[in-house]
Amino acid sequence: MKDETAEIILCLIEKSELKITPAELEKKAAVQFNVKRKNIKAVIRSLVEKGELQYTYIFGRTFIEKSFHKPVRLSKHVIIKPPGVLVQDKEKDDVVIKIKDGASFGTGRHPTTLLAVNGLEYLLKDSCFIKKNNDTDLLDIGTGSGILLITALMLGIKRAVGIDIDPCSLYDAGENIKENDLKDRAKILGISIDDIKDKFQLITANLRYPTLKNLFPKINEITTKNGAVVVSGLKTCEADRLVNIYTEKYFKLEWRLNKKDWTGLVFVKQ
Q: pLDDT by residue (tens digit) across 71-93? A: 888 999 999 988 888 888 788 88
Comparing 141 with 103, the larger pLDDT belongs to 141
- Return the domain boundaries, the chain: 2-66, 111-269
At residue 105, the pLDDT reads: 61
The whole-number average pLDDT for the span 170-186 is 95
CATH code: domain 111-269 is: 3.40.50.150
Share of the chain above pLDDT 90, in %: 58
Quick: pLDDT tens for 195-234.
Answer: 999 999 999 999 999 999 999 999 999 999 999 999 999 9
pLDDT attached to residue 10? 82
**Count of residues for the chain?**
270
Please check whether residue 261 is in contact with residue 235, taking contact to mean a CB–CB distance below 8 angstroms.
yes
Residue 18: per-residue pLDDT:
78
Whether the predicted pLDDT of 56 surpasses 70:
yes
pLDDT at 37: 83
Q: Which CATH class is domain 2-66?
A: mainly alpha
**What is the structure's pLDDT at 106?**
62
Same fold for the pair 2-66 and 111-269: no
The DSSP-derived string for 141-186 is ET-TTSHHHHHHHHTT-SEEEEE-S-HHHHHHHHHHHHHTT-TTTE
pLDDT at 122: 97
pLDDT given for residue 246 in this prediction? 97
Greatest CA separation for the chain: 60
Among 57, 162, 144, residue whose Cα is nearest residue 107: 144
b/e map 38-64, b = 16+ CB within 10 Å? eebeebbeebeeeebbbeeeeeeeebb
